Amino acid sequence: MLRKFIKTAAVATSLVAASAIAATAADYTLRATANSNENDEDYDGLIVFKNYVEAASNGAIEVELFIGTQLCSNGAECLQGVAEGQIDIVIQTSSGTSGIFPFVQVLDLPYLMSDDRVAEAALANGSPFVTKMQEMVAENSGGALRLMTIGNTGGWRNFANTQRRVQNPEDMEGLKIRTVVADLPQELVKALGAAPTPIPWPELFTSFQTGVVEGSKNGITDIMSMKFPDAGLKYITLDGHAYMGALWFMNNEKFMSMPPELRNVIVDGFYQLQQATFASPKRKSIQAYEDFVAEGGDLYVPTPEEKAAFKDAAAPVYDWFKANVDGGETAFDALVAAVAEAEAQIAATRESETQ
């Protein structure tokens, strides 16, 4: 747990002191970082957050953005920095966070959320799932970290490969699929009959070229920005097995040091950020899919029956997660409850709007 290896969060650092001195115009300065670039959804969200918070606080809050690895280079280091107060706000993927909060890998479980509308409702602040995640983060960090919201970073994960069209789980048999070095994605790939092959992200292009791996599970914007079709990636199956959730954390002491009216501004700012990250991948994926097809790519949309077969094949991963991940069963139950609630609300809305 985070509390076992972080320094006391109350200890002030020279970095924070320097920021406070420099913030002459604003009463509060927030240092926010994302290990990405200016073409990423995370950056889009931070720009919206910065604009909203600075305007709504009438200049009382200044937001400084650090894009890339200026302040930290990996999940553990970034969360350590937030807990110690060197960084105020950071975004992390579930894989980047799982070493400290294993239960957040629930976001990587396959086929639990069917589409954007369900995912956005289930991940809305105040949902049973987000509320439970916030409680678990606070407890496991000793109150040092605050989970502010969960957005999106790249749309949906789909299976893509260099060999053949994949229409059903049987077509995955034997394919060498790139995964991160984590148990959950490897368990998923094995459940579908393929061979999980951990490969560092920077080496993936060459690994496709040389046949070290034959497939991956990524969003279309990542596939096209990394030019994977040039390395032989020609087949994408839009199975949408995982919504690419992004967790936004803030130093709790910094948040609570603000008066209530400014805490409200911060909370509303994260709502604006979340909505921006929900929308950004949808727009960017349009051109990305068009470019993929234009370059000769094969884009396959599974039928409802085929997608159900994928879900059935992946079902053992749920039991594995609940049995092997610390906090896994609690997180799983909370997400399933939030999805069921979202689906019921959406169905009721559709019924009323179509009469």
47-57: per-residue pLDDT in tens? 999 999 999 99
Per-residue pLDDT at 12 exceeds 90: no
* Sign of the alpha-carbon torsion through 34, 36, 39, 40: negative
SS3 246: strand
pLDDT at 11: 37
pLDDT at 2: 52
pTM: 0.90
pLDDT at 39: 86
User: What is the C-alpha separation between 179 and 189, in angstroms, rounded?
Assistant: 8
* Sign of the alpha-carbon torsion through 21, 25, 31, 37: negative
Per-residue pLDDT at 241 exceeds 90: yes
Closest CA to 274 of 70, 157, 121, 141: 121
Beta strands, E only, 199-321: 215-218, 235-251, 298-300
SS3 157: strand
pLDDT at 228: 97
The residue-averaged pLDDT of 178-205 equals: 93
Domains and CATH numbers, the chain: 2-154+244-283 (3.40.190.170), 157-242+285-317 (3.40.190.170)
289-320: per-residue pLDDT in tens? 999 999 999 999 999 999 999 999 999 999 99
204-219: per-residue pLDDT in tens? 999 999 999 999 999 9
The letter for the amino acid at 177 is I
Q: Are 26 and 61 in contact (CB under 8 A)?
A: yes
Per-residue pLDDT at 16 exceeds 50: no
55-79: per-residue pLDDT in tens? 999 999 999 999 999 999 888 999 9
87-126: per-residue pLDDT in tens? 999 999 998 899 999 999 999 999 999 999 999 999 999 9
Q: Are 264 and 326 in contact (CB under 8 A)?
A: no
pLDDT at 95: 86
User: What is the C-alpha separation between 42 and 30, in angstroms, rounded?
Assistant: 16
Burial classification of residue 354, based on how many CB atoms lie within 10 Å of its CB (0-12 exposed, 13-18 middle, 19 or more buried): exposed
Residue 260 has a CB neighbour count (10 Å cut-off) of 7
